[in-house]
Structure 1
Amino acid sequence: MEIRVLVVDDELSMREFLAILLEREGYAVDQAESAETALEFLEANSYDLVISDVQMPGLDGIQLLGKIKDATPETAVLMMTAFSTAEQAVEAMKLGAYDYIAKPFKVEEVKILVRNALEKRDLKRENQRLRQEVQERYSFSGLLGKSKKMRELYELIEKVAPSMANVLVLGESGTGKELVARAIHYNSSRKDKPFVAVNCGAIPETLMESELFGHKKGAFTGAINDRAGLFEQAGGGTLFLDEIGEVPLQLQAKLLRVLQEKEFRRVGGIADQKADVRIVAASNRNLEEQVREGSFREDLFYRLNVVQIQMPPLRDRNEDIPQLVEHFFRKHVPAASGVEIITPGALKLLMSYNFPGNVRELENLVERCAVLGNREIDVESLPTQIKGAQSQLSSTSCDEIVIPPEGMNLEGYLDEIEKKILLQALERCGGVKKKAAELLGLTFRSFRYRLAKFGMDEE
């Protein structure tokens, strides 16, 4: 891609000298004899770099610099003058000039400054592009779905994001809790600061305090250097504490202090540090039940639960499945644009499936089809658990149920069916209640409630 440079100087010899020098380096060069002419060039063309004299009749170079930065802040600018003063240099740098060179200058010096100015310009553009990409990815476009529940979720995020309030995101595994945390961050005033995510359940208990708050050299065996913790790394931004219910009680007290006092102390340290961090916490557990059981501090729960966001499971918004399937298929098969990606029969099966793994399970399913080279998702390409679930539902036809002549106890009949299904789920999952609940598309709390109804919830 051609790099365009505009040289601005009221001296013809200087303009021509720089033009020849820069053209030999492969740049396309235009010349302007005044700041006024330069502004006409800038209005008609786009330039990667402007090299301008400071002392010129009419508008001077400093005034031109200000107008360039107002109109096209990404354009790199080098200032030059035979009357170099510290005051002019400081003023030019404050207004956004890359650097300042004094006449007479060396040819190699000009070459190096031009290359460096263009490299810095490229870096700023790349950073801007990446920031825009991240913001687009983690704004509401990162959360997919047009169902009523998702529209309500978007509205809540839009209200919560600009505030500094702590947020607690609750929901089953795979519902997109981290995406919500990122959407809150990238739609807040902290969007240009770090977003740091940590899964509290994946950190060994002995290392969790150091991971969160950092440590001083020699604080424990293996602490050979000072180390910044996640609160420091997220300074000015957002810290996402996933699976907050896994934090041990002893550390919960220290986490509570950070939320109350807005300061923390490294392990082995003696000085407190300020914690300018917004907390978004998440859990797939029932934290209120943990509070009742004594495994989670009530005061910490209320500190985190300033605003609560409940993530809907996929089975409660199955009308979003077609859009999600299309998005994931095109994500994993970019060349699939414009082709039919799922058959009606396969879509019907997906929309009747409970998806215990939620959106994450659906994406894995679509990716599996893509990896196996399927140009479309049909019934045969679906995993056996989905086809199997449908066949089991089909085998229990409502047509087979007959009301006896003497009538029936409907509540008792439904209770008996429910009890059998609960027992089958427990048997298939080896007695692990959490897995059995996921198998039936229930929350753990709801599953235990149903067990207790039949006197089956014995530890």
Structure 2
Amino acid sequence: MSHTVLVIDDERAIRASLSEILSFEGYKVEEASDGAEGLKKILANAYDCVICDIKMPKMDGLEVLEKVMAEKPDTQIIIISGHGNIETAVEAVKKGAFDYISKPPDLNRLLITLRNAMERKDLVVETKQLRKKVEQKIFGESDMIGNSEPLQKIRETLTKIAPTEARVLITGENGVGKELVARNLHKNSNRAKGPMIEVNCAAIPSELIESELFGHEKGSFTSAVKTRIGKFEQANGGTLFLDEIGDMSLDAQAKVLRALQEGKITRVGGDTEIKVDVRVIAATNKDLLQEVNEKRFRLDLYHRLGVILIHVPSLNQRREDIPLLIDHFLNLIATDYNQPVKEIDNAAVQLLSKHNWTGNIRELKNVVERLIILSDKKITKDDVETYILMK
């Protein structure tokens, strides 16, 4: 795909000459005869690069530059002028120009500068895409998808509690998106600029959970060859998300309770109290009150964690959101695979909406990915029956 260049110059001969040269080099070229027209085109269209004169009627090049940088700061603008000097060049670059070239422009320099500007433009786009992927990994794939009543209530609750320091306990089945609720809570809190540290309590052996949470001093046990900073310290100034907290050992629960009460922790093998400033969000797929009755969870910790309780419904309880989720996953997976978005029949969507989703949203995403891989150009009802329902 060829790059698009806009040439803004009040001299018709200059515009014609640049258009001819750049078209020959493979660029798609558009023209504007003054600054006002050029600005209007830039704001209405997407150009990979703009070549702009300084001295023009209606609006000069530096004014165009200022307005474009305010509205579309990623636009690459090369300023050209036959009336400039070093001061003008410096001013243009300070205002955001990619480069400054004197008239009449040296052809080789112009082409090299243009190529470099295109590379920078591509790099900016690539960086944004990478940043988006990183944010997706950190904060989840997106905002919570759906318009069902249970989801609307969760959104309303998050709006109220996100700016506070209240601890939150999120409950719900596996795969319903408890982590996504926690990440949205952090992202919209006053701690958003701080870290969000996640701990899956079910994935860490009970003998290691204290070291994981509170850190340890060198030599505190056989394999402690150096001092380790725990998750509480890593989350200082931010949010600590304790996922599957119902699987935490009673000993570790006691130390977490103390940390919440006093705002201090002590590393394993150490005796120095370390102050920590964290907001704790916990999640579980268990009935913690039942765990309390069976002496597997501390009642005092339950009350410390559950200042605010949020229950995330199962996918079967919010079926009206399934079409939106399917569409979301079709787009997300297409992006991951760098492929066009695959269409899906309404009949296929209806069939999926009636399915019993024991694995909730996580299962739905896997199913959509399977259908994308195994179906032809369009996902059909037959594909759902063949690859999902196994009929």
Give the secondary structure class of the aligned counterpart of 2:347. coil
Work out the CA distance in 1 between the residues paired with 2:207 and 2:328.
43
Partner of 2:121: 118
Q: Percent identity?
A: 35
Instruction: Note the alpha carbon deviations across 1:189-215, whole angstroms, 9 max, x for none.
Output: 777887654321102345445545678
Greater gyration radius: 1
Give the secondary structure class of the aligned counterpart of 1:201. helix
Q: 1:190 to 1:113 in 2, by over 3 A?
A: farther
Q: 1:236 to 1:66 in 2, by over 3 A?
A: farther
Work out the CA distance in 2 between the residues paired with 1:358 and 1:337.
23
Structure 2 residues without counterparts, runs of 5 or longer = 334-341, 376-381
Work out the CA distance in 1 between the residues paired with 2:129 and 2:298.
45
TM-score, normalization: structure 2? Answer: 0.63
RMSD over aligned CA atoms reads: 5.5
Letter in 2 for 1:309: I
Q: 1:381 to 1:249 in 2, by over 3 A?
A: closer
Alignment of 1:50-449 (within 5 A): 50-52=50-52, 59-79=59-79, 82-84=85-87, 88=91, 91-92=94-95, 97=96, 99-101=98-100, 103=102, 107=109, 110-123=113-126, 126=129, 138-141=142-145, 146=148, 149=150, 151-185=152-186, 197-209=198-210, 211-212=212-213, 238-249=239-250, 251-252=252-253, 255=256, 259=260, 278-288=279-289, 296=297, 300-312=301-313, 317=317, 320-321=318-319, 324=322, 336-339=344-347, 357=358, 359=360, 363=364, 375-377=383-385, 381=389
Give the secondary structure class of the aligned counterpart of 2:286. coil
Instruction: Note the alpha carbon deviations across 1:254-273, whole angstroms, 9 max, x for none.
Output: 64576567787888999968
Partner of 1:386: none
The structure, 1 or 2, with the larger RCO (C-alpha pairs under 8 Å, 6+ apart) is 2
Q: 1:14 to 1:247 in 2, by over 3 A?
A: farther
Give the secondary structure class of the aligned counterpart of 1:165. coil
2:232 and 2:276 in contact (8 A); partners too = no
Structure 1 residues without counterparts, runs of 5 or longer = 384-459
Q: 1:9 to 1:151 in 2, by over 3 A?
A: closer
Letter in 1 for 2:306: N
Letter in 2 for 1:246: D
Work out the CA distance in 2 between the residues paired with 1:225 and 1:278.
27
Q: 1:325 to 1:259 in 2, by over 3 A?
A: same
Work out the CA distance in 1 between the residues paired with 2:264 and 2:241.
17
Letter in 1 for 2:160: K
Q: 1:361 to 1:189 in 2, by over 3 A?
A: closer
Work out the CA distance in 2 between the residues paired with 1:217 and 1:86.
58
Work out the CA distance in 2 between the residues paired with 1:31 and 1:57.
15
Work out the CA distance in 2 between the residues paired with 1:124 and 1:181.
26
Work out the CA distance in 2 between the residues paired with 1:364 and 1:58.
54
Work out the CA distance in 2 between the residues paired with 1:98 and 1:258.
52
Instruction: Note the alpha carbon deviations across 1:363-416, whole angstroms, 9 max, x for none.
Output: 4996799699853559x9589xxxxxxxxxxxxxxxxxxxxxxxxxxxxxxxxx
1:83 and 1:102 in contact (8 A); partners too = no
Work out the CA distance in 2 between the residues paired with 1:329 and 1:30.
36
Q: 1:16 to 1:195 in 2, by over 3 A?
A: farther
Partner of 1:445: none
1:8 and 1:34 in contact (8 A); partners too = yes
Q: 1:132 to 1:245 in 2, by over 3 A?
A: closer
Work out the CA distance in 2 between the residues paired with 1:172 and 1:102.
63
Work out the CA distance in 2 between the residues paired with 1:368 and 1:15.
50
